[in-house]
Amino acid sequence: MFDPSKGMTSLDSSPGELFVLTTHRIIYFSQTNNGSNFSVIPLNKIDGFTRERSNSSKNTELYHNDSRSPKSLYQGLSFIFAGILSYLVLGYNSSNLTIAITMGITLGLLGFLFVGRYLVHKFDLLKSYSEEDQDLVLSAGSISLKLTCTNKQSRDQIPAFINSIMRTRANT
């Protein structure tokens, strides 16, 4: 069995996707919100395998690369300055100090959020995106089955799993 969170295993203990290799076929189980699905493909019908970067990790990388620019820092500092300025101007020109305090605090907090976002991405405080997810795609005629490997152990075992399938296919 090949589990996307554990790699090659003899026991299945997690819900989700799973490839099961038998002596004559490979079985793909997929559990989603809509229910459970499965596909059975004879080993002699398999055309090939593909190992590629997952779309989810590409989107995550694009998001994080865009946020590393100092744009968030400049926006944050501008909001903080605007908050202080609005507090001073509204507090001086208005008889109602509550509105001035509310506007100043709101703009200041928004500025701190932008500055915080910049600092988190500048110093790589979020490490979850640094490891790429990879897809193992099995092609058999018009059927294409995709399994997303989410950790290093399962990503490292993709070639071993493909070799196991090819050896089993050659022995039948």
Q: How far is CA 105 from CA 73, 77, 83, 94, in A?
A: 18, 14, 6, 16
Mean pLDDT by 10 residues, the chain (172 residues): 72 72 85 73 87 63 55 92 93 87 94 90 61 81 83 84 88 80
Instruction: Record the pTM.
Output: 0.52
CA distance 139 to 42: 12
Burial class (CB in 10 A: 0-12, 13-18, 19+), 104: buried
CA nearest to 7, candidates 162, 155, 148: 155
| Residue 3, SS3 per DSSP | strand
pLDDT of 68: 59
